[in-house]
Amino acid sequence: MSWATHYIEKLKKGETVQFRPRGNSMKGKIQSGQLVTVEPLLDRQLQKADIVLCKVNGSQYLHLIKAIQGDRYQIGNNIGRINGWININSIYGICTSVED
């Protein structure tokens, strides 16, 4: 079980989740320990720069959509790293709020 498994299960059931992610990969958008709210996607149209809870190559991330090509989404952090390409089935929720 990885750090976000519990939150992903709740999102799959249609529940909104809140948690305080740790780390500096989203510095400038989310500081380590800030409270984030992540909502299920429902029928949302995803856009470049949306912050999503997703899985890329087996790892879970709360990272940015860096690019969109058709039905594929490139995921990366806010400090220059690209995680890879995924489809909508690997995106579980969208960050709608960041607060202290």
- 3-class SS letters over 7-66: HHHHHHCCCCEEECCCCCCCCCCCCCCCEEEEEECCCCCCCCCCEEEEEECCEEEEEEEE
Q: What confidence tens digit (pLDDT) does each residue in 15-41 have?
A: 999 999 999 999 999 999 999 999 999
Domain residues for 82? 5-99
Round to the nearest angstrom and report the end-to-end CA distance of the chain: 27
Q: What is the CATH number of the domain that holds 79?
A: 2.10.109.10
Q: Across residues 55-63, what is the average pLDDT?
A: 98
pLDDT band at 1 (very low <50, low <70, confident <90, very high): confident
Q: Across residues 73-80, what is the average pLDDT?
A: 98
Q: Which residue has the higher pLDDT, 1 or 89?
A: 89
Domain count, the chain: 1
Candidates 87, 79, 77; CA nearest to 57 is: 87
- Chain-wide mean pLDDT for the chain? 97
